Amino acid sequence: MEQFQVEIQVLQSLKHPNIIHIEDVFLSESKICMVRICIPKNERVTQYSMLDALFQVTEYMGGGELFDYVVDRGTLSEVEASTIVRQITSAVAYLHARGIIHRDLKPENLMLTSKSRGASVKIIDFGLAKLLDADDKTASFLGTRGYLAPEMLQRQAYSMSVDMWALGIIVYVLLCGCLPFDDDGGKIANEKAARAKFGLRFPRWASGLSESAKDLLRNLLEVDSTNRFTAEQALAHPWVTGARTPNKYLKSPNYLRSIKQEKVSQKMNGRMPHANGNSVEVCNGNGPTISVRRQSR
C-alpha cells in the first residue's frame, strides 16, 4: 500500500506540461488496486467492477508510447528528436528541483498526447519514484535493466544522476535505434571495469549524427556520476536548445522497423537489440491505455 500511496502523493503534487496528470483517486476499504483508465472524450466509458480497490484516473494519452511512435515513423530528424528530448529533460529538471527521482525512465514510460506530429511527450509511471534531497543517495536496486546507471549495476549508493543516465539511453535509442551497451547481468566488479564496459560507441548506421548530439550523449552517459550532466546542464546544451541541431534524418529506417517487428513478434519478451546486434533484457511494458496493479494490505 505504501508504494501506491507514494506514487499518488507524488503525482498529486506535480503540475508540469510533460508529466502525466492525475484526474482523480477512488479508495475502497480492504485492498488496493491502481487502474490507469485512459478514455477519450465523447466515448462510452467502460465500467470496471473492482471491489475493495483504489482507482487512479489519469488524463488520456492518445499517442501511445514514444518508442512506438519513433519506430512507426521510420525516420526522425535531429530537430524533432531534440524537441522531444527537450520536453523530457524539462520534466526531469522539474522533478529533481522538487527532490523527486523517477528511477524508471525509459521509452515505455514516455507517452504522447496524440499521434500527430508535434504532440506533447509526458512522463508516466511513478511507481518507483522516491523523494530524495539533492545531495542524498539511496541504494535500492530498482528500474529496468538496459537503462540502469553503472553505479546501480554495481549496487552502489546513487543519486538523482541515475535519471540522467537513463535519459542518455533514451536519447541514444531515439537517434540510433538501439541500446548502446552490452549487458552482462550487472556483474561489473569495479570502476575500471565499468569504464571499459560502458565505453560509448556509435553503430555504423549512425555515422551521420552531429557532433553536438554526440557531445550531449557523452555527457549524459558519463560513468562517473559526479561528472554526469544534471538536468539543468542538459537543458542548456546547444543540441537540446536547438542552437546546434541539424535538420537531417537518421539513415536507418529499416533497422528501426526491425526493432518494431521484434517487439511485436516477441511482445518484447524481456529483450531489445543493442549496438552490437545482440539483445539485452528489459522489463515488459504495460499497454498504452490501461495498466493494473493490485496489492493486499
pTM of this prediction? 0.78
159 falls within a domain: yes
C-alpha cell recorded at residue 68: 512506438
Mean of the per-residue pLDDT values of the chain: 75
Instruction: Flag whether pLDDT at 269 surpasses 60.
Output: no
Does 252 share its domain with 173? Answer: yes
The two most distant CA atoms of the chain are separated, in Å, by 58
pLDDT score, position 282: 34
Contact assessment for residue 87 and residue 110, using Cβ atoms and an 8 Å cutoff = no
- 289 against 39, higher pLDDT: 39
Number of domains present in the structure of the chain: 2
Does 87 share its domain with 53? Answer: no
Does 124 share its domain with 243? Answer: yes
The rounded percent of the chain whose pLDDT value lies above 90 is 35
pLDDT tens digits along 71-98 = 777 667 899 999 999 999 999 999 999 9
Whether 224 is a known active-site residue: answer no
Structural domain for 124, as ranges: 64-256
CATH number of the domain encompassing residue 161? 1.10.510.10
- 294 against 37, higher pLDDT: 37
- 38 against 282, higher pLDDT: 38
Q: How confident is the model at residue 178 (pLDDT cuts 50, 70, 90)?
A: confident
What is the mean pLDDT of the segment spanning 186-209? Answer: 69
Does 216 share its domain with 149? Answer: yes
266 falls within a domain: no
Task: Give the active site residue among 24, 52, 72, 104.
Answer: 104
pLDDT score, position 290: 27
Does 97 share its domain with 191? Answer: yes
